[in-house]
A and B are shown apart, each in its own frame.
Chain A
Amino acid sequence: AQKITQTQPGMFVQEKEAVTLDCTYDTSDPSYGLFWYKQPSSGEMIFLIYQGSYDQQNATEGRYSLNFQKARKSANLVISASQLGDSAMYFCAMRSSGGGADGLTFGKGTHLIIQP
């Protein structure tokens, strides 16, 4: 069974500081993908960044980077130079192709609030 754990229910961060959102995962599948989504108060789910289990380098997308530590089964999201607009719920998710199952397994999310 797959599991995603996000241990930070909420975080307050000062504007312009860097933020690290924690995510650990558990799976027995050798091939999997790790994703981060942002859900602002308006409710939509916005894809941010992807990391494949066989990728050698950490993924980056603009101000977002993923700190992937495979041996520790962690995939933390780093947001550099945080902005007020970064305030939202952030979900870590995993997708694997093993066992005939599909779809994303989500963590419970981290509510990030950026303070001016």
Chain B
Amino acid sequence: DAGVIQSPRHEVTEMGQEVTLRCKPISGHNSLFWYRQTMMRGLELLIYFNNNVPIDDSGMPEDRFSAKMPNASFSTLKIQPSEPRDSAVYFCASSLNSLSGNTIYFGEGSWLTVV
């Protein structure tokens, strides 16, 4: 079975450039999450969707970050313009639904470096 698929796996970009991270959740999963992991702050929830609808984006650091889920099988996280402090690993994750007993499965992460 295919897990959560993220692309790109690694990206190096210059400050000021636009970055788009992509995610394909596990088929049949209705909840999708974007997390960011840094040494300083650990794992942070940025935003999550239920049935393609953004439910809570309070974790999005600022207006430079935006996320979309145009359909059940695709989501994007965009950073525009990017800054060096955005360097982190960005994880997409999905689960069957929002019940607390459902496991959240993670993609392999997108390693972003902004220079």
Residues on A lying within 8 angstroms of B by beta carbon are: 29, 31-33, 35, 37, 43-47, 50, 52-53, 91, 95-97, 100-106, 108-109
Contacts and interface: CB of A to CB of B under 8 A. Distances in A.
Interface in B1-59: 31, 33, 42-43, 45, 48, 50, 55-56
Query: Would you list the 8 A-B pairs with minimal beta carbon distance, nearest first?
Result: A45-B106, A106-B43, A33-B100, A103-B45, A97-B100, A44-B108, A95-B100, A102-B98
Contacts of B50: 102
**Chain B interface extent, by class:** 20 to 34
27 contacts: A31-B100, A32-B100, A33-B100, A33-B101, A44-B107, A44-B109, A45-B93, A45-B106, A47-B104, A47-B106, A50-B101, A52-B100, A52-B101, A91-B43, A95-B100, A97-B98, A100-B55, A100-B56, A101-B56, A102-B31, A102-B55, A102-B98, A103-B33, A103-B56, A104-B45, A104-B104, A109-B42
